[in-house]
Structure 1
Amino acid sequence: MSNDRHGISVGIERSGSKFYMTFVAVGKLTHEDYEYMVPMLESAIAGVEAPEINVLADISELDGWELRAAWDDLKLGIAHGKAFEKIAIVGEGRIQEWMAKMADWFTPYDAKFFESKKEAREWLND
């Protein structure tokens, strides 16, 4: 049995039609990780017309995705991408910063990279 830590933890807060989601990704994400997280997100936004979601995504301990998990991530973006307004991505290093820039270029929401959670929260609250 492997002791490699991996997974997604999600926290969701709601204020009117505005959602704040914290997302922490650890290790190499799997399809099973997305099977856990996606229903939580969908349940939180069910019945809300035109939800507006801001996300604080901590990927500082992310090692990547399995291929099927990467597909799950793409499907999530296609299904719910318009519900997201801003995603503040907190991480370390050039590769994670580059991933954030790619997300900003190819998605309908604003995505920005930060090395500090404090700065990320300030940007989300602007």
Structure 2
Amino acid sequence: MKLDRHGISVGIERVGEDDFFVTLKLVGKLTHADYEQMVPMLESAIAGVKDPDIYVLCDITELEGWEARAMWDDLKLDFKHGRHFEKIAVIGDTNTQEWLTKVANWFTSIKVKFFLNTFDAIHWLKD
């Protein structure tokens, strides 16, 4: 029996006055409800910070895709807070995931890079 497992696990750490290190684990096929859970957590963490800098470590090794409305939620997040995202390190394990990361990089001013392991991703985020 296959479980219909999906969601976004979020970890947020504040570093100094205005830097935030966000870890995301994306699982299954993401839904609008998944974004309704995640976005308020992020917005609450950066509330009151004039110009936050956000560094993201995003694990997509178990991601199966997005519902259309969830893709729209992702775009809205980028439009609203994109200027605050400094770097996004994407951890995956397939050529397709690497290709999709490169395509996503064309559509945003955020520095996005694909990695096969967490160590290299964290090192890049800290540079």
Please state which band the TM-score falls in when normalised by the shorter chain.
over 0.9
Equivalent in the alignment of 2:6: 6
For 1:45-60, list aligned pairs within 5 A.
45-60=46-61
Code of the aligned partner of 2:79? I
Q: Deviations over 1:76-116 (max 9, x none)?
A: 11111111000000001111111211222211210000000
Specify every segment of 5 or more residues in structure 2 that has no aligned partner in the other structure, as ranges. none
Question: What corresponds to 1:104 in structure 2?
Answer: 105
Partner of 1:35: 36
Rounded to whole Å, the distance in 2 between the matches of 1:72 and 1:82 is 16
Q: Deviations over 1:43-62 (max 9, x none)?
A: 01111011100000000100
| Distance in 1 between residues matched to 2:95 and 2:119, nearest whole Å | 20
The one-letter code of the counterpart of 2:78 is G
**2:85, 2:103 → 1: CA distance?**
16
Q: Indicate the percent of aligned positions where both proteins have the same amino acid.
A: 61
1:86 aligns with 2:101: no
Deviant stretches of 4+, over 3 Å: none
Structure 1 counterpart of 2:89, which letter? A
The whole-number CA distance in structure 2 between the counterparts of 1:64 and 1:3 is: 16
Write the distance in 2 (CA, Å) between the matches of 1:102 and 1:46. Answer: 30
Unaligned runs of 5+ in 1: none
Give the superposition deviation at 1:3: 2.3
Q: Under a length normalisation based on structure 1, what TM-score does the superposition of the two structures give?
A: 0.96
Q: Deviations over 1:19-63 (max 9, x none)?
A: 000000000000000000000000011110111000000001000
Partner of 1:116: 117
SS in structure 2 at match of 1:108: coil
